[in-house]
Structure 1
Amino acid sequence: MYYFRLNPPRADFAQTMTADEQRAMAEHQEYWQALLAEGRVAVYGPVADPEGVWGLGVLRARDRGEVLAIGERDPSVIAGVNTFDVFEIMGGTTG
């Protein structure tokens, strides 16, 4: 299991997205919905951090490289809107 953090370009991103950023985020949402439907994602969604909203995902993958590839194919990353970080969840379990 891997923890995926989607990093927006600014703290007020959720409130100030441009039209291009909104399109990229709509494509991002579709991309993650497909990953969820495939069973690759356990949970994902925006986090209401007082410092600024960011995205969280927990993915099932063979290795970190697979998750990095998923992140690199995210439409919002391809569009240059967001960046991301990936961390292994050591010994994670799900219900």
Structure 2
Amino acid sequence: MKYYLCKYIPPRPDFLPTMSAEEKGWMGEHGAYLDALLEQGTIVAHGPVMDPAGGYGVSLYRIADDQDIAAFIAQDPIVKNGVGHYEHHPMLHLKARG
């Protein structure tokens, strides 16, 4: 297994409070996409981080050795619609409850 910390970087620092209706729709699709991966066990946890300098999202992935993190990120509705981007960083291991 491989493990990744993924950080969603919104297109602007005030993105969360200033999203357009279209962006809100894509964020809803984004949440549903991540929830589906959570149900499958591909994602261990995900959620928004309310940083005073500008909010962002974090997700922890656990994927098979033959899978590519970039493929998961490319399918995220916010990436598909050009609303921000991800940084992803490999982790040496991941310990989690449950």
Q: CA deviation at 1:66?
A: 1.9
**Cα separation, 2, equivalents of 1:82 and 1:74:** 11
- The answer to whether the aligner puts 1:72 opposite 2:74 as a matched pair is yes
Q: CA deviation at 1:92?
A: 2.8
Change in Cα spacing, 1:83 to 1:63, as seen in structure 2 (3 Å) is farther
- What SS does the corresponding residue of 1:86 show, helix, strand or coil? strand
What TM-score does the superposition give when structure 2 sets the normalisation length?
Answer: 0.90
Deviations 1:32-75 (A, max 9, x none): 01000001111100011111110000000134962111111000
- Correspondence for 2:38: 36
Q: Unaligned regions of 5+ residues in structure 1, if any?
A: none
Amino acid at match of 1:40: T
Change in Cα spacing, 1:49 to 1:17, as seen in structure 2 (3 Å) is same
Change in Cα spacing, 1:64 to 1:29, as seen in structure 2 (3 Å) is farther
**Which of residues 6, 25, 28 in structure 1 aligns to 2:27?**
25
More strand, by proportion: 2
- Correspondence for 1:9: 11
Task: Judge which range, 63-72 or 14-23, deviates more.
Answer: 63-72
- What SS does the corresponding residue of 1:60 show, helix, strand or coil? strand
RMSD (Å), alpha carbons: 1.4
- Correspondence for 2:47: 45
Matched residues, number:
95
Q: Unaligned regions of 5+ residues in structure 2, if any?
A: none
